[in-house]
A and B are shown apart, each in its own frame.
Chain A
Amino acid sequence: MGIGYLTGQGGGGSNIKSFQTGAAVITNLNTLDIAISAIDTSKSVIRIWVKPAGSNNTDYEAIMAKITSSTQINLSRKTAYAGVNYIQWEVIEFNNVKSKQSGDLTVPFGTAGTFQTTAISSVDVNKSLIFGSFKAIAGDTGIASALNIFKISSATEVSISKAGQSYSAHWQVIEFK
């Protein structure tokens, strides 16, 4: 069961066209759709904060957030769980966007300090931001696997850190004019 709600829209600084946020509760579910007010998906990103349910299991605790359409976002995890995950989500729609790129990437098991990379179309790294979230796909190694790094490693590459187990990451790179 999950609940989402909107707490605000509009306003913001000169570079923010709209801002929507909400709290979602996920228990006994592995996916949850939440309706939002219409946005331009080519100029918007989603980010989340997760309060774990206390299982020490990334199958339950790692939450992936995606903008699935102009009026909907999705939160998902590998496995449904009776414990309660509290998720704070934000959808930020920007002005002055030059490009937005995004993708899903399977990050295989790897030692700390190593990265899975993916190619992107060239961006100005001094005018770009990255956002990301992830969920487990192949079993748990404990909550330490939930501490990962997303970075724009060059003008044409995104890097996501490997962890104690394979996981699926969703990344978004937004470049401003």
Chain B
Amino acid sequence: MKFYAQLNENNICIGISQLSGEVIKDNMIEIQSFDNDKLWRKYENKAWSTEKFEPQSTAPISEFEQLKAEQQELSDTVAEILLGV
């Protein structure tokens, strides 16, 4: 059994694998165990950073939130009409 940390293009660990045999890939670094703590650490000069580079959200407002906002706006408009504001 072999354990590997997979690096992305910035040398940040994005995966830990437990494989049945050896793989030879530039972005697969053999490690001693299934160590999830290596996730999002940077691998430089054969050492792991102390800092973690966790992915940041790029999420736009979800369709649900958008619809919710539009519904609220409509409700406000109807209320204004009914109240003659």
Contacts and interface: CB of A to CB of B under 8 A. Distances in A.
B84 interface: no
Contacts of B2: 121
> How big is chain A's contact interface, by range?
20 to 34
A165 B15 contact: no
B15 A140 contact: no
Interface residues of B, number: 30
Contact of A138 (B8, B15, B25, B56): B56
Contact of B62 (A56, A99, A104): A56
Interface stretch (B16-24, B43-51, B72-80): B16-24
The majority secondary structure among interface residues of chain A is loop
Interface string A156-172: 10000000111010000
Interface in B54-68: 54-60, 62-64
A168 B55 CA distance: 10
Contact of A109 (B15, B21, B58): B58
Nearest to A105: B15
Nearest to A145: B59
Contact of A104 (B16, B22, B23, B63): B16
Nearest to B56: A138
Interface of A: 42, 56-57, 99-106, 108-109, 116, 118-123, 137-142, 156, 164-166, 168, 175
24 contacts: A42-B1, A56-B62, A99-B21, A103-B15, A104-B15, A104-B36, A105-B14, A106-B39, A106-B40, A118-B6, A119-B4, A119-B6, A119-B17, A119-B28, A120-B19, A121-B2, A121-B20, A121-B23, A137-B55, A140-B59, A142-B64, A166-B55, A166-B58, A168-B39
